[in-house]
Amino acid sequence: MLPKLNHRWDVSEQEAKRIQLELSSLVREQKLTSKPKIIAGVDISYNVGSNLLFAGVVILSTDDLSIIEKVVVAEESKFPYIPGLLSFRETPPLIQAFSKIKYEPDIIFVDGQGIAHPRFFGIASHIGVIYDKPSIGVAKSILVGTPDRIPTKIGEFSYIRYKGRIIGALLCSQEGREPIVVSIGHKITLEEAIELTKKACLGYRIPEPTRLAHLVVNEARRSSKVK
């Protein structure tokens, strides 16, 4: 699977922010046109202080959320770790991983923010826009915004608001654990993103697509001889 939109990744911090602001206008909040049959989950793993990133894409069947394909690539990142700009560090190796998959997904779950982002364009939106695919951001903590309340029962959620708009939701996916942040990446509604995430949380805090991607990339990193 190849991107439908391309731009330079070796840019300055200011240029990266400009690109985010420009591309954020392409994000679409709209209902899915069909029920997803194939789901992708993506995640990145790396050793602290290392620029070698292990990027993973797992392809799941919606029937039982089992893995039907997985790809991991290791690539050196030239972009530094800067909060709010992680997409410029992590997306290039993910593009390499996506280029190797055989099954094209109907929707992509991303370990990171969608529009719940200072410029309304986190990595889930970035990936959704460049591939023109529905995408969902699922993050472990709030980057920006304030929740209406903190949900504590499984399946409960509350909206997160920022600069006068709803940018995502806090979703309780596992009792006794911190809620996760669900946000629109691209070409999906927040309600659909929440419901799909609920269905994908099979007793764990993190939904299966990104949970399995996390396991796959961590296994690849640990088995690598690179320290």
Q: What is the pLDDT of residues 110-120, one digit of tens each?
A: 999 999 999 99
> What pLDDT score was predicted for residue 27?
98
Domains of the chain in start order, with CATH, are: 13-147+182-223 (3.30.2170.10)
The model's pTM: 0.94
> What pLDDT score was predicted for residue 225?
53
> What pLDDT score was predicted for residue 28?
97
pLDDT lower than 50: segments of the chain? 226-227
Max CA separation in the chain (angstroms): 48
Rounded CA separation 197/184 (Å): 11
Rounded CA separation 72/57 (Å): 7
Rounded CA separation 102/68 (Å): 10
Which has the closest alpha carbon to 54: 39, 69, 75? 75
Q: What is the pLDDT of residues 9-29, one digit of tens each?
A: 999 999 999 999 999 999 999
Whose structure tokens read 């070796």? 10
| 47 DSSP 8-state letter | -
> What pLDDT score was predicted for residue 48?
76
